[in-house]
Amino acid sequence: MAQRSKAYPANAPGPFFVDSSCIDCGTCWAVAPGVFQDAGGHSLVHRQPDPGAHLRALMALLACPTASIGTGDKAGMAEALQAFPDPIEDEVSFCGFTSERSFGAWSYHLRREDGGVLVDSPRAAAPLMERLEAQGGVALMVLTHADDVADHARLRDRFGCERLMHEADGLRDLERYIVGSNPVPSPRTFC
């Protein structure tokens, strides 16, 4: 959890802050660019959120892989928890809840009637798993490389989904592997 005593002094004064545990993954300023910015080696609050940006700032707090964002103003947290997966376009959403174990790598959910597809693994946070369940669950998890697997085993346990990865990435005990270097069919083919 972020600690005010470890907050960067360059944070804009106010309730939101970034502390020294930040790993500079860039998630916060991608989710709420009007509030957070890159400060060279870490992020910081460059402007406190106005009412229109407050929800996005809370979403950045939830998405932070190291819990490096803190705030004294948690009004609207329930809405922020329900905002993930965050729609990008059509059936594609950003999962949020990034993991320190994957250096804050982003994962995506492709909503499908017959069970969704996760591309890489988010943190297995209960609110996110409940929302994924409400959106039809997860039938397949495509892991693009061994660095972005985060909580893949917990998600497998929750949803019973198959996990797919290229054999050359070296992660063992998955359900399916892509073999060789020839092009493969789209992820829909694997469902």
CATH number at residue 180: 3.60.15.10
**Once rounded to an integer, what is the mean pLDDT over residues 72-87?**
96
Task: Answer with the residue of higher pLDDT: 110 or 148.
Answer: 110
Which pLDDT score is estimated for 186?
A: 62
- Domain limits at 123? 84-190
How many distinct structural domains can be found in the chain? 2
At residue 184, does pLDDT exceed 90? no
**What's 31's domain CATH number?**
3.30.70.20
Tell me: do 108 and 168 sit in the same domain: yes
How much of the chain exceeds pLDDT 90, in percent?
90
Q: 179 with 134, same domain?
A: yes
Q: Where does a domain end: 80, 96, 130?
A: 80
- Asked if residue 143 lies in contact with residue 171, where contact means CB atoms within 8 angstroms, the answer is yes
- Among residues 50, 80, 110, which one ends one of the domains? 80
Assess whether 56 and 91 both reside in one domain.
no
Q: Are residues 18 and 110 in the same domain?
A: no
Q: What's residue 181's pLDDT?
A: 86
> What's the pTM value of the predicted model, to 2 decimals?
0.92
pLDDT at residue 185 is higher than 70:
no
For the segment 112-149, what is each residue's pLDDT rounded down to a tens digit? Answer: 988 999 999 999 999 999 999 999 999 999 999 898 89
Question: DSSP assignment, residue 184?
Answer: -
| Domain endpoint, select from 54, 80, 106 | 80
Please tell me the distance from the alpha carbon of residue 15 to that of residue 73, in angstroms, as a whole number: 6
- 68 plus 89 within the same structural domain: no
Which pLDDT score is estimated for 113? 85
Q: Taking the chain, what is the end-to-end CA distance rounded to the nearest angstrom? A: 38
Q: What phi, psi does 136 have (nearest 5°)?
A: 105, 0
- The pLDDT tens digits of the residues spanning 141-183 come to 999 989 889 999 999 999 999 999 999 998 889 999 999 888 7
At 33-48, the pLDDT tens digits run: 999 999 999 999 999 9
DSSP symbols for 152-167: HHHHHHHH--EEEEEG
Shared-domain flag, residues 88 and 181:
yes
